[in-house]
């Protein structure tokens, strides 16, 4: 069927037409009988941009197919889609500026697609020519070989599908191929109103002629009929008409754009749709690369108790420990971070020790391997997409997979203030994996919602896993006018994260050992900052480079001495996009100081972190980002053992 495309009117004319007054088959037509100069109504003006659908009937060979064409001379590109009798679709795009043809064939029976990218050869559906060393698509007159310079003869008015049409004819002889044929064009006239408007629209074209077979030297006849069923002059509005179908990997595609960088700190809600299991799953991920922390709130899949319990899991890569909290209980389980993590946060150099993936490697694949797919629309959002392919061997099981990421284009933003404004937000992640031996196909779509840079430190807080002997509650003071109003209101996340980082840094601790941060107004323009300092973890972790810091007593002494120094401790953070800072009052460190109950101001008191996690989940809960083989393995495997801290 592939050869049938070459018999399309445009192609056949472009390939075989060379008008030579030689020895035509006069039984078909005589080129010398056609009049010149032209005598008839004005010839139709062919558009520089159009979409059309044509039914191609190769009558002498007894088959037909539908071809859809997209032509854009303004932007130097073209494309076509054909639907074949073998239940396949063939898409071809031509980028004349890049000198590139992309061919995608989709087998609908198997659901597989193949892509071939190549430079232009001898054949191009629309033809091309060189201008100033650059390829250009041919004009419509040259493509259709229709116009005054081609010596058309007006044949009068005919009727095509009940529509009055002006009829033009031309006789063509090509001595190289021994073809003689009549080319007839039928265009609508002004007496009949068409959906596409008042302009003359092609309705039908026919090729009727004869040739001499090079193989047998015998004469044969041919007849082609082209019914133009849909013709839309003007800019092509169909999305991605000139770009390959989404979800198909096209190695060598010349349209290149760098995959977006993921920020070092972000949170996102995820809705996971897994058709194979008829399952929708919600979760939320929090990622803080500078602090070496990852947190995840989810409802375990496969919970058969009937009492689904939300879980908050924190991975502290400073120590290599996973903290697991079940909302509504006081129990916390602690253990090494699983090497083959259910989540996508972990990488291991030796199969034993773990480290937090960098922001770019967090996307599950080598960033440089992503192929740019171009623009599209998701939920009325202007988006662009990247795709990559890979293979994962898990024992005797081999999975071939593709992954696709969609990002909002740069003109779309999220966030509620200048400091939280998010550009080029991830919108959707698609995974398709096929088992090489069983042909089982696993698909998952992950909708990414509320992508934000504004993270509360409470999502990473693990102080509930430590008892009074393993932690110490304390407070420091900040003196100034309207500090809460000027720096903290509508900026709690930034401020609390800065407090956690600053206190941990001056104490020689990782950020994970400072928790339960809370700010409350005192008296006489004093702001009191409460926090807990945690002791050494009760379980040994498996971090590649452990950074657990000194024991609790040593850290307390270090902090106390630092607060007493003349050189003040400055807490730096951002407010409304500007860098600001406040000073901890010298000698203001107080031990065994607990925060008051929430007084209605911004801030979070002791014991409310779980409530925040549940609220965030209910407001926009989301998915764990995982790939099929990991996902299935985790669901079917027993849970990873944890040491339990009562």
Query: Which residue would you say has higher pLDDT here, 579 or 641?
Result: 579
* pLDDT tier at 500, thresholds 50, 70, 90: very high
Strand, coil or helix: 594: coil
The whole-number pLDDT of residue 610 equals 30
Dump pLDDT digits (tens) for 274-332: 998 899 988 899 999 888 999 999 887 665 555 567 899 999 999 999 999 988 777 88
Between the CA of residue 342 and those of 135, 313, 532, 540, 633, what are the distances in Å?
51, 11, 30, 20, 9
Q: Which of 321, 246, 311 is nearest to 281 (CA)?
A: 311
The whole-number pLDDT of residue 643 equals 31
Strand, coil or helix: 492: helix
- Among 384-388, 583-587, 611-615, the minimum mean pLDDT is found in 611-615
* pLDDT tier at 628, thresholds 50, 70, 90: very low
Strand, coil or helix: 140: helix
Between the CA of residue 444 and those of 200, 538, 627, what are the distances in Å?
48, 38, 8
The whole-number pLDDT of residue 223 equals 95
Average pLDDT over residues 521-550: 91
The whole-number pLDDT of residue 57 equals 92
- Among 49-53, 74-78, 135-139, 234-238, the minimum mean pLDDT is found in 135-139
Stretch (H or E) spanning 505: helix 492-507
- Among 342-346, 463-467, 472-476, the minimum mean pLDDT is found in 342-346
Cα separation, 79 vs 238, whole angstroms: 12
pLDDT of 103 strictly over 90: yes
3-state helix, strand, coil split of the chain in percent (to 5) is 15, 40, 40
The whole-number pLDDT of residue 148 equals 65
C-alpha count within 13 angstroms, C-beta hemisphere, residue 530:
18
Average pLDDT over residues 441-460: 87
The number of residues making up the chain comes to 646
Rg of the chain over all Cα atoms, to the nearest angstrom: 35
CA angle 514, 520, 523 (to 5 degrees): 130
User: Could you give the residue ranges of the DSSP H alpha helices within 322-395?
Assistant: none
The whole-number pLDDT of residue 404 equals 94
CA angle 528, 531, 533 (to 5 degrees): 145
Strand, coil or helix: 257: coil
Dump pLDDT digits (tens) for 233-279: 999 999 899 999 999 999 988 888 888 888 888 889 999 999 988 99
Q: How far is CA 280 from the centre of its chain?
A: 20
Phi, psi of 186 (to 5 degrees): -125, 120
Strand, coil or helix: 9: helix
The whole-number pLDDT of residue 366 equals 60
With a CB cutoff of 8 Å and minimum separation 6, the contacts of 82 are 5, 65, 66, 67, 68, 89, 90
Q: How far is CA 41 from the centre of its chain?
A: 52
Average pLDDT over residues 47-53: 92
What integer best gives the mean pLDDT of the chain? 81
Stretch (H or E) spanning 14: helix 9-16
Query: Which residue would you say has higher pLDDT here, 305 or 439?
Result: 439
* pLDDT tier at 608, thresholds 50, 70, 90: very low
The whole-number pLDDT of residue 637 equals 34
Q: Which of 155, 151, 207, 175 is nearest to 31 (CA)?
A: 151
Contact (Cβ atoms closer than 8 angstroms) between residue 390 and residue 381: no
The whole-number pLDDT of residue 342 equals 58
């Amino acid at each position: 069927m592939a050869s049938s495309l070459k018999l399309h009117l445009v192609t056949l004319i472009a390939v075989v037409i060379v008008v030579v007054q030689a020895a035509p088959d006069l039984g078909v037509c005589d080129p010398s009988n056609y009049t010149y100069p032209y005598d008839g109504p004005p010839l139709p003006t062919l558009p520089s941009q159009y979409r059309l659908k044509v039914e191609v009937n190769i009558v002498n060979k007894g088959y037909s197919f539908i071809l859809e064409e997209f032509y854009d001379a303004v932007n130097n590109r073209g494309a076509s889609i054909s639907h074949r009798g073998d239940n396949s679709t063939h898409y071809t795009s031509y980028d004349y500026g890049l000198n590139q043809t992309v061919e995608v064939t989709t087998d609908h029976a198997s659901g597989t697609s193949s892509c071939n990218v190549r430079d232009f050869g001898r054949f191009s559906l629309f033809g091309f020519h060189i201008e100033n060393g650059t390829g250009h698509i041919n004009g419509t007159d040259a493509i259709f070989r229709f116009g005054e310079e081609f010596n058309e003869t007006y044949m009068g008015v005919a009727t095509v599908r009940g529509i009055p049409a002006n009829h033009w004819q031309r006789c063509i002889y090509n001595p190289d191929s021994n073809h003689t044929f009549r080319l007839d064009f039928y265009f609508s006239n002004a007496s009949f109103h068409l959906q596409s408007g008042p302009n003359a629209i092609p309705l039908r074209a026919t090729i009727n002629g004869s040739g001499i077979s090079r193989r047998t030297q015998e004469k044969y006849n041919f007849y082609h009929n082209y019914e133009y069923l849909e013709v839309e002059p003007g800019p092509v509005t169909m999305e991605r008409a000139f770009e390959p179908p989404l979800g198909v990997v096209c190695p060598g595609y010349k349209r290149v754009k760098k995959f977006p960088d993921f920020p070092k700190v972000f949170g996102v809600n995820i809705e996971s749709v897994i058709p194979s299991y008829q399952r929708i799953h919600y979760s939320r991920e929090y990622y803080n690369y500078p602090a070496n922390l990852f947190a995840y709130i989810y409802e375990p899949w496969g919970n058969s108790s009937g009492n689904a319990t939300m879980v908050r899991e924190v991975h502290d890569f400073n120590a290599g420990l996973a903290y697991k909290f079940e909302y509504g209980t006081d129990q916390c389980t602690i253990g090494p971070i699983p090497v083959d993590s259910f989540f996508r946060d972990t990488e291991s150099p030796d199969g034993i020790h773990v480290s937090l993936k960098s922001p770019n490697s967090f996307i599950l694949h080598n960033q440089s391997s992503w192929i740019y797919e171009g623009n599209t629309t998701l939920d009325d959002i202007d988006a662009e997409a990247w795709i990559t392919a890979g293979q994962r061997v898990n024992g005797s099981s081999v999975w071939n997979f593709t992954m696709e990421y969609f990002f909002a284009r740069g003109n779309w933003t999220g966030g509620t203030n200048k400091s939280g404004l998010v550009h080029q937000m991830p919108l959707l992640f698609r995974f398709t994996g096929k088992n090489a031996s069983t042909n089982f196909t696993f698909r998952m779509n992950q909708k990414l919602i509320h992508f934000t840079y504004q993270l509360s430190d409470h999502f990473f807080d693990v102080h509930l896993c430590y008892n009074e002997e393993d932690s110490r509650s304390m407070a420091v003071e900040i003196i100034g006018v309207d500090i809460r109003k000027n720096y903290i209101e509508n900026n709690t996340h930034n401020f609390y994260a800065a407090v956690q980082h600053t206190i941990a840094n001056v104490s020689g601790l990782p950020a994970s050992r400072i928790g339960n941060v809370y700010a409350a107004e005192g008296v006489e323009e004093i702001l009191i900052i409460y926090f807990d300092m945690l002791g050494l973890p009760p379980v040994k972790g498996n971090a590649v480079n452990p950074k657990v810091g000194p024991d609790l007593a040593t850290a307390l002494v270090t902090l106390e001495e630092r607060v007493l120094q003349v050189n003040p401790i400055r807490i730096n953070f951002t407010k409304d996009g500007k860098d600001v800072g406040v000073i901890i009052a010298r000698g203001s460190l107080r031990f065994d100081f607990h925060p008051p109950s929430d007084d209605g101001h911004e801030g979070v008191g002791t014991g409310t972190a779980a409530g925040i996690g549940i609220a965030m989940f209910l407001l926009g809960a989301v998915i764990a980002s995982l790939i099929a083989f990991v996902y299935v393995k985790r669901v079917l495997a027993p849970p990873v053992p944890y040491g339990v801290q009562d």
